[in-house]
Amino acid sequence: MLIEDYALIGDMQSAALIGRDGSIDWLCLPRFDSPACFAKLVGDESNGFWRLAPTGQETATRRQYVKDTLVLETVWETPTGTVKVIDFMPPRHANPDLVRIVEGVSGTVEMTAEIRIRFDYGRIIPWVRRFDGALHAIGGPDSVWIHTPVQLKGSGYRHTGTFTVSAGERRPFVFTWHPSHQPQPDRIDPVEELAETKLIWEEWVSQCGYTGPWRDEVVRSLITLKALTYRPTGGIVAAPTTSLPEHIGGVRNWDYRFCWLRDAAMTLDALTDSGYIDEAGAWRDWLLRAVAGRPEDLQVMYGVAGERRLPELTLDWLSGYEDSTPVRIGNGAADQLQLDVYGEVVNCLYQARKKGLPPDDHAWSIVRRLMDFLERSWDQPDEGLWEVRGPRRHFVHSKVMAWVAADRMVRIVEELGRTGPVERWRAMRDRIHAEVCDKGFDAERGTFTQSYGSRELDAALLLIPIVGFLPPEDPRVAGTIDAIERELMTDGFVLRYPIAESNDVDGLPGAEGAFLACSFWLAEALALVGRKDEALELFERLLALRNDVGLLAEEYDPVEGRQLGNFPQAFTHIHLIRTAQALS
């Protein structure tokens, strides 16, 4: 399966990926960052999957989400009839459930089910028995129950079954996880849960305030972002997967099942701009819990409940997606210094307050403490937006976002009535601005550069007019856009920065695809500087990359014509929404 051959379902605590072949190849329970019980996505069939498809059929005819929901319908047309598989994860009760309903549309179709449950990322083969009319799999801390009227037979550490379904008939499967030390969970009614799940998503979408020409595209991206929210705490993961490669066969494989402050803040910007204020309040509460403590201990990412220790490990028994190894869990970038996150956090809270989020004195005191640290540290080198594994540098984007933090603190005082050392923040803002324009601008080429003293470019420089560091009409903005179009464009898409042996900025071997968010930045920047026709053309080209159910990964390989990186990627969908809003 290509990365874009997958669709997403989830219950706002975890998520599953389902291929065009009807196979669930990735599912972590009970949380996004829990060990997977289906890990074929980054291994092979022996690492767990659950396929449900007409006998002998390889690929579905078509599929779509039920409008304005996260309920997936996969349609198979066969010589003997047509059948539909409905996949969803209902809003969680006591335990996570995954429901698959096979529904006959016309004629009669023979179906085959095959399930291989493997706990701990495909490493543990559970003990499976029949009990009380169900299959019960148990291994260590994990326990799964499968309820279905279909007879499943065990052989070779897997369970299979064939059955027929005719027009108007339904055959449900309910997969329920729970801790193995707890008693058997209550059964759910799959048909009732289907109706309730549709209703919940439809009611949420009905609050959307976007009315522009790309309504369907924006709504699908909003649903995707909501699906990546961990409802119990308000945290937002960057993606539901780990180790989908940025280059096939390469080592740029990272675990994205955590809450980056940057990604989460930008997600909240997109949601609040679309009318969703409650999510901003929940995320603010999560943030205050996660960052509580000394401001110098702020991390760039946390676990979904605010965990700080995210040790990076490799799973050597997994072969990787298309042999792209290592497969990693955890993320060593959690310990990096990335100064830009302060700007994203302060800007997010400022924007949410402007859009109606009630004030919170505790939040203001925490933000002020973070600013105290930034005032002392903004002039230090850091690892920057892209989490480089090479030496720290004075990244221009990091300085620009430190300027954003100071600017938004000033605005919070001036516009929202808060109190604080506003003169000090103004002075900090002015000093950063002057330094960036002096040390981060290449006057000979007429462009800002990736870092002080460098001649390399960085797509993050496109954010300079978007965040208001310089007005769109400033010639330095136009020069930077022109330079990025000349030097970072590949087949019509934008790279993050040059990848070459002569450029050791990220400290990693190998190449990567075009980073999709960067191309959305270019479209938004082009619109800001008055090149709207070009912006629209680029935006439509980006929308055409979405898969058949409207999802995008982190990157795109324009040579091979395929998506790359973890999937679906919040950062990409954030900037699809923001660009649509800007162009509307």
pLDDT 10s digits, 345-362: 999 999 999 999 999 999
What pairing do the DSSP bridges indicate for beta strands 134-139 and 229-230? unpaired
Mean pLDDT of 490-499: 89
DSSP letter for 531, please: -
Tokens of 184: 């058997």
What average pLDDT is seen over the chain?
94
CA 312, CA 298: separation in Å to the nearest integer? 18
pLDDT 10s digits, 55-107: 999 999 999 999 999 999 999 999 999 999 999 999 998 999 999 999 999 99
Tokens of 91: 């809003």
CA 486, CA 480: separation in Å to the nearest integer? 10
Task: Name beta bridge partners: 167.
Answer: 104
CA 31, CA 11: separation in Å to the nearest integer? 10
Of residues 503 and 17, more confidence is placed in 17
CA 265, CA 398: separation in Å to the nearest integer? 16
Tokens of 311: 């040790």
Look up residue 42 and give its amino acid.
V
Question: Is-contact 476 500, C-beta < 8 A?
Answer: no
Tokens of 11: 């219950």
pLDDT 10s digits, 237-292: 999 999 999 999 989 899 999 999 998 889 988 999 999 999 888 988 998 888 88
The residues, any chain, with a CB within 8 Å of residue 417's CB and separated by 6 or more, are none
Q: Write down the pTM of the prediction.
A: 0.95
Question: Is-contact 554 246, C-beta < 8 A?
Answer: yes
Question: Is-contact 87 10, C-beta < 8 A?
Answer: no
pLDDT at position 509: 54
pLDDT 10s digits, 431-462: 999 999 999 999 999 999 999 999 999 999 99
CA 310, CA 257: separation in Å to the nearest integer? 11
Q: What percentage of the chain's residues is helix, strand, coil (to nearest 5)?
A: 35, 25, 40
**Residue 142 phi, psi (nearest 5):** -105, 140
Question: Is-contact 306 280, C-beta < 8 A?
Answer: no
Half-sphere exposure at residue 578, Cβ-oriented, CA atoms within 13 angstroms? 25
Crossing angle for the helix pair 516-528 and 570-583, to the nearest 10 degrees: 20
Task: Name beta bridge partners: 314.
Answer: 328
Q: Which of 217, 183, 37, 249 is nearest to 577 (CA)?
A: 217
